[in-house]
Amino acid sequence: MTKSQKTNGQPQGLDIPVGAKLSLEVLGIDEKLSSALVGYAKGKYLVVQLPSLTEGGRDMLFQYLYSGNPVTVRYLKSGAVFGFRCEIIKYLFSPFPLLFLTFPLRVESFNLRRHRRIPCLLPVSAMIKEATYTGLMTDLSLSGCGVGLTIMRKYQPTIGVDDRVLLSCLVFGDHGQNNLHCLIKRAASDVGKLELGLKFTELPEASRQGILSYIQSAAAILEN
């Protein structure tokens, strides 16, 4: 996970929906704690669910939930991990188990992608539920790619996350060995077009070398 950008913290608001799942790292506790956002007062404090540990770890948990102890909070949004640092204000058991945290001054964004992604325009064909569509690959990495397919409205397939796609492209290898099995991770449709974010489920060595060679060549051109 590599840091992609920092955004200046603005006390007037946080882009986190109530109920969002949170990961808390409390100084002194090795285990990452699961929680959820209950609410916040802008520029003042956050309220989250009081994390729970196993029976044997509860005493350790409360030992470190003292006022002023640093906490790192992370959450997932639109394919990226966002995080910020804050401090514990206090915790309550009654009427509900809650943890109060100071409001962050800065939120950082972390890129989840493990591999470099290169923009491209490569002809592809995709088989989705026994139907084949043609289009262009718009970006490529060793873990997946983005494609835009041309589809007539009446032939628009019904798809969902983790549906399977068999994708063909010359960059994957020689004719007859240029197919890769993929899972749909993102989908958006418009008139006559379907845009997909795909994850490769397996990557044979020949395909890996073909993709890597293309990425390295394209990167050399883009960086000059």
Q: For position 176, what pLDDT does the model report?
A: 66
pLDDT band at 13 (very low <50, low <70, confident <90, very high): low
CB 129 within 8 A of CB 116: no
Radius of gyration of the chain (CA): 23
Phi and psi for 201 in degrees, rounded to 5?
A: -85, -25
- Portion of the chain with pLDDT greater than 90, in percent: 40
User: What letter does residue 50 receive in the DSSP assignment?
Assistant: P
Which of the residue ranges 50-59, 83-92, 105-114, 169-178 has the most confident prediction, judged by mean pLDDT? 83-92
pLDDT band at 173 (very low <50, low <70, confident <90, very high): confident
Rounded-to-integer distance, Cα 182 and Cα 198, Å: 6
| Segment 117-140 mean pLDDT | 92
* CB neighbourhood size of 56 (10 A): 7
Q: What is the mean pLDDT of the chain?
A: 83
CB 8 within 8 A of CB 108: no
174-213 tens-digit pLDDT:
766 789 999 998 888 877 889 999 999 989 988 988 898 8
Rounded-to-integer distance, Cα 90 and Cα 99, Å: 6
pLDDT band at 139 (very low <50, low <70, confident <90, very high): very high
54-61 contacts at long range (C-beta below 8 A, 24 or more positions apart): 57/31, 60/29, 61/26, 61/29, 61/33
CB 65 within 8 A of CB 49: no
CB 97 within 8 A of CB 122: no
Q: For position 9, what pLDDT does the model report?
A: 38
Rounded-to-integer distance, Cα 193 and Cα 133, Å: 10
Q: For position 223, what pLDDT does the model report?
A: 55
99 Cα distance to chain centroid: 26
Looking at per-residue pLDDT, the higher value among 170 and 160 belongs to 170
Rounded-to-integer distance, Cα 99 and Cα 29, Å: 16
Q: For position 113, what pLDDT does the model report?
A: 52
Amino acid, single-letter form, for residue 186: R
Q: Please list, in sequence order, all residues whose beta carbon lies within 8 angstroms of the beta carbon of residue 156, skipping any fewer than 6 positions away.
A: 189, 194
Q: Please list, in sequence order, all residues whose beta carbon lies within 8 angstroms of the beta carbon of residue 160, skipping any fewer than 6 positions away.
A: 184, 187
17-75 tens-digit pLDDT:
898 888 899 998 888 888 999 999 988 999 999 987 655 566 678 888 999 999 999 88
